[in-house]
Copies of this chain bind each other. A is one copy, B any other.
Amino acid sequence: MSELRQDVTTREWVILAPERGKRPTQAPKKKPGGGDPGWDSTCPFCPGNEVETPVETFRMPAASSGETPGWEVRAVPNRFAALTPQGDTTRTEEGPFFRKMGGFGVHEVIIETASHNTPLALMTYEHVEKVLTTYQARYNSLKKDKRLRHITIFKNYGWAAGTSLAHPHSQLVATPIIAPYYHRKFEVAYEYYADLGKCLYCDLIAWDLEHALKRVVAEESEFVVVHPYAPHVPYETWIMPKTHCSSFGLFPAARLGELSRVLKDTLFCLYQGLNNPAFNLVIDSNSNDHEDDPFYHWHIRIIPRLTTIAGFELGSGIYVSTALPEDTASYMRKIARSCPGDVCIAFKDYE
């Protein structure tokens, strides 16, 4: 069983999960989708191998539809989970310095498609919407358990981004603690709200749209796609809803269709412009303590893994990026202009 331990020198928690060391890893020879077959008999996420995953928590469409394979998107518990619902929630002190708690939590896999080799960037808009609907269904089901203080939905795409299986999938981890990165973001946003009575992100979006179009890649009626002012890595991309909404779980389901177009087109341009790069994607949502807050504002962060995170970044937390967001946003707009038939959202023509 896994456990959480707190580092007394930083007060940050880590998850120690020895079982995860046993998970299978496919040989990192190819880029996902790059030469892989559409179906792989040895892949636990491919149709026909459903028995290799634990009992699913969600599927689209419902099992009764009678189609083959009978599903388009599935959510299943991670067989090599970092945290489990069976985990203990007791906190234990080990002497004056060490604190641990049982590995209670949830760790699921969202199998995005029955196709072994179709990445999100190349799916139809309709299918991407089904993936987003699955994300939200699992988020809203799990948030009812208030012991789960934060729900992180994320994706590792490509070996350099830490994936261990090629079949397109995302993950969801619900933790009994607030992660340090989110703690910091909530604190900063709360202070802004306490000072000005407004949402930092709402103001930031309005300012970028009026004054920083160099960093704005695309704008739709409900979303803006920007390269942030202070990125951690080249081509870091944020997708932000324009209307205030603190939690991904509270975002109107009727708007997931637009989000699917914005997300797919953004990933498609990265795929086209950067030769199918590895990336991480994270949905930054509010804590589950107070889901509906006036000060926080959910958004998606896409973190391309074009360079290796090295000793200075790991050691100090200061990221060194070799590109300016003004330049990378310009290149993304150029890519979108070069394939007008393949993208439908409103990429900016600022240049």
Contact = CB atoms under 8 A, between A and B. Distances in A.
Interface of A: 5-21, 82, 94-98, 150, 152, 154-156, 159-163, 171, 173, 175, 177, 179-182, 184-185, 188-189, 200-201, 203-204, 207, 211-212, 228-232, 234, 280-282, 284, 301, 303, 307-312, 314-324, 327
A19 to B, nearest CB: 8
A309 B162 contact: yes
Contacts of A95: 207, 211-212
Task: State the number of copies, please.
Answer: 2
Nearest to A13: B318
Contacts of A189: 9
A131 to B, nearest CB: 15
A280 B9 contact: no
B162 A320 contact: no
Nearest to A196: B96
B9 A322 contact: no
Given A154-B315, A189-B9, A308-B161, A321 B15 contact: yes
B159 A323 contact: no
A200 B9 contact: yes
The winner among A8, A162, A207 for most chain B CB atoms within 10 A is A8
Nearest to A183: B317
Contact of A154 (B82, B163, B312): B312
15 contacts: A6-B230, A9-B189, A10-B184, A19-B322, A20-B322, A95-B207, A95-B212, A97-B203, A98-B229, A161-B308, A162-B311, A180-B316, A280-B310, A280-B311, A282-B316
Given A10-B185, A16-B324, A316-B179, A309 B311 contact: no
B320 A17 contact: yes
Contact of A317 (B82, B179, B234, B319): B179
Given A11-B188, A12-B318, A95-B211, 12 more contacts: A9-B200, A16-B231, A16-B324, A17-B320, A21-B234, A96-B207, A156-B310, A280-B311, A281-B311, A282-B314, A282-B315, A303-B311
Given A154-B315, A282-B311, A323 B181 contact: no
A161 B311 contact: yes
B311 A155 contact: yes
A200 to B, nearest CB: 7
Contacts of A14: 230-232, 318-321
A5 B229 contact: yes
Contacts of A13: 230, 318
Contacts of A98: 229-230
Given A303-B314, A315-B301, A20 B320 contact: yes
5 nearest A-B pairs in the assembled complex, by CB-CB distance: A162-B310, A282-B315, A179-B316, A280-B311, A21-B322
Nearest to A21: B322
Nearest to A279: B311
Contacts of A323: 16, 18, 21
